[in-house]
Structure 1
């Protein structure tokens, strides 16, 4: 996510804190320090309530981090690259660069998060009992609150609706039953959309009944679930369209290249104003790939600097550009492209020489061509439904 503060690395995984977390921290501290704690444990100083509220917020964020770390570390054990973990307004997100290769791996990665939250709830519950026996009641109340929140978090996450962990569990179960990950993912995503709309409706009813803040918060969660589930379904359909497609089938062959030492003005005069292109690979004198320049990077250069700046000065460094071989599966490359700076990839032969370029336009063309192909199949079948994800010819795990 953008606008995140790096917290370093834990277990080899980069961890970030989105600035939207500040909102939930303020709400949590305010609600506990000036609402729940004074009402349940009266007679203490404001400082004590605020400190308890701050400690509760910090431990709650630590619980969320433990939940996401459990997902991330389990994914790594199953050979899936983890880009980063980000804590944000509605919880945490572990960004994976790849997908589980079996229903069993999918299930393990999904269920370990809620199990971690349940374990945290048990630990905080034990601390609450211990504090009640030997410590201040406020401390016991703080741990009791954290115990309940973690158990509630685990139960909510186990609801069988994507993108919740329970949706992943549902996907794994359907995948094991049907033998088709894409079909299972679409079913899970549809369940997520339905659940999201239910939350939005419940939120609206709460607003109408006078519980405005709770209703808006519930509706916000529902809206997030609807959008995330819709995105997952779309991604699954794209995976179906791209199944079996090689990088060579989608790439732009022999793209126009530029010298790293050419000026920005030189490239504009030589190519940009003459060709309808948005991406220019840089190739050095030895034929090696030396970076990538996009039209957006060129536009960011002030006109009075274009004659002096070289292309290597504005290019995306070669080590940050995803690379692929012509025979690689396109779906494998897409997972790497999604985390790249410019969303492009270069295709190199066995000798490391540039043979092609892959851009979002190339990928869109492949998807649209696949849609046309499915449409032709549908018409040939005289009305038979071959275009959906549930037909045997298209039920393939990505």
Structure 2
């Protein structure tokens, strides 16, 4: 599965491919242990090996399986890089693996192609394992491993093509909806909801098939299906939220998050500030430094406690909160550039001034930005 995540995950770095680290997450060790224990009975039944050798062969299979997962992820990253999308990390985890990127795919075609090559790589490997298994000595350990490799890669390739996020098939569906509607975010929401259906379907199938066959489902099957379903549900829900948030970001403007403001010099009295605000029809007042830079804003609660009789002799500085250097954004920005600028500015203060052509036009509060992005 391929996901756009900028943060490098923790784990052991095995090397670098296409400029990105190959990371072994700590949860991988648990996956190896559990899968080895699960596969061992099949190995013993097929080969008749003693217990120690059975677990050794099962362990080899699990390592080969994760090798196939790595091929899957490398296919994502190499094709993405060829299409101008730099991979950030290849990660092997409890649930298999994922490829992270520093940014989103630039076009629907790139998104679909990068998603498709992972499952295709597994299906090609399945074919190779199948051919080799047919040529191996019947009943040998090698034949068992090759048949298991063919089955595992076939399943991984086919399952990942199911059209629901966070599976690769979901990314292909997302790209298709994006291409048809010209709306990337709608694609994410549609594929995310489909992914939720897939998550529920995994658990339903795990429970229904044994009952239809007249037997109770095994505890291991139910546990792994529940774990997989929870993982898929979480990824699908994140995709739905991400799509909705992305749409909110695209619609972000100063008018949506800013509170109109008027500027007064630091020498002004509170009475002057109140008069300027009434004349402009606004409630927020920004205090400017002698060089015209927004230096503070009037604390409306503090200003409200000053009686009218004292407003003329009270300076705005007495009821103002300082604005640090850098607490400033370009009010002409919109969408993602505006969000990025606000992110940088609010690192200095929770309230920032917005300026258009050197003139203060609004105050922007972090709480208002978060409310606009809340979906």
Residue of 178, 182, 198 corresponding to 1:175: 178
CA RMSD in angstroms comes to 4.0
Residue of 63, 74, 88 corresponding to 1:58: 63
Q: What residue is the counterpart of 2:79 in the other structure?
A: 74
- In structure 2, relative to structure 1, the CA distance for the partners of 1:99 and 1:326 (3 Å cut) is farther
Q: What residue is the counterpart of 2:18 in the other structure?
A: 11
- In structure 2, relative to structure 1, the CA distance for the partners of 1:193 and 1:85 (3 Å cut) is same
Do 2:253 and 2:338's aligned partners in 1 also have CA atoms closer than 8 Å?
no
Alpha-carbon separation, structure 2, partners of 1:357 and 1:81: 33
- In structure 2, relative to structure 1, the CA distance for the partners of 1:328 and 1:127 (3 Å cut) is farther
- In structure 2, relative to structure 1, the CA distance for the partners of 1:238 and 1:151 (3 Å cut) is same
Do 2:199 and 2:233's aligned partners in 1 also have CA atoms closer than 8 Å?
yes
Alignment of 1:1-398 (within 5 A): 3-33=10-40, 35-42=41-48, 44-132=49-137, 137-203=140-206, 209-243=216-250, 245=252, 331=336, 346=344, 365-369=368-372
Alpha-carbon separation, structure 1, partners of 2:89 and 2:350: 27
- In structure 2, relative to structure 1, the CA distance for the partners of 1:188 and 1:106 (3 Å cut) is same
Alpha-carbon separation, structure 1, partners of 2:217 and 2:56: 31
- In structure 2, relative to structure 1, the CA distance for the partners of 1:331 and 1:132 (3 Å cut) is farther
Alpha-carbon separation, structure 2, partners of 1:276 and 1:216: 56
Q: Compute the displacement of 1:79 (Å).
A: 2.3
Q: Compute the displacement of 1:215 (Å).
A: 0.9
Q: Compute the displacement of 1:88 (Å).
A: 0.9
Do 2:19 and 2:87's aligned partners in 1 also have CA atoms closer than 8 Å?
no
Do 2:10 and 2:25's aligned partners in 1 also have CA atoms closer than 8 Å?
yes
Between Structure 1 and Structure 2, how many residues are aligned? Answer: 294
Q: Compute the displacement of 1:363 (Å).
A: 6.5
Larger radius of gyration: 2
Alpha-carbon separation, structure 2, partners of 1:80 and 1:51: 40
- In structure 2, relative to structure 1, the CA distance for the partners of 1:96 and 1:333 (3 Å cut) is farther
Q: Compute the displacement of 1:209 (Å).
A: 2.4
TM-score (norm 2): 0.66
SS in 2 for 1:227: helix
Q: Compute the displacement of 1:58 (Å).
A: 1.1
TM-score (norm 1): 0.63
Q: Compute the displacement of 1:109 (Å).
A: 0.9
Alpha-carbon separation, structure 2, partners of 1:217 and 1:235: 27
Unaligned runs of 5+ in 2: 1-7, 259-292, 297-319, 353-363
SS in 2 for 1:85: strand
Unaligned runs of 5+ in 1: 257-274, 284-288, 290-323, 338-343, 348-353, 372-387, 389-398
Alpha-carbon separation, structure 2, partners of 1:107 and 1:123: 25
Do 1:158 and 1:166's aligned partners in 2 also have CA atoms closer than 8 Å?
yes
Q: Compute the displacement of 1:130 (Å).
A: 2.8
Q: What residue is the counterpart of 1:308 in the other structure?
A: none
Do 2:206 and 2:217's aligned partners in 1 also have CA atoms closer than 8 Å?
no
Q: Compute the displacement of 1:54 (Å).
A: 2.0
Alpha-carbon separation, structure 1, partners of 2:117 and 2:62: 23
What per-residue deviation string (whole Å, max 9, x for no partner) do you get for residues 38-69 of structure 1? 11122x34443233222211111111111111
Q: Compute the displacement of 1:86 (Å).
A: 1.4
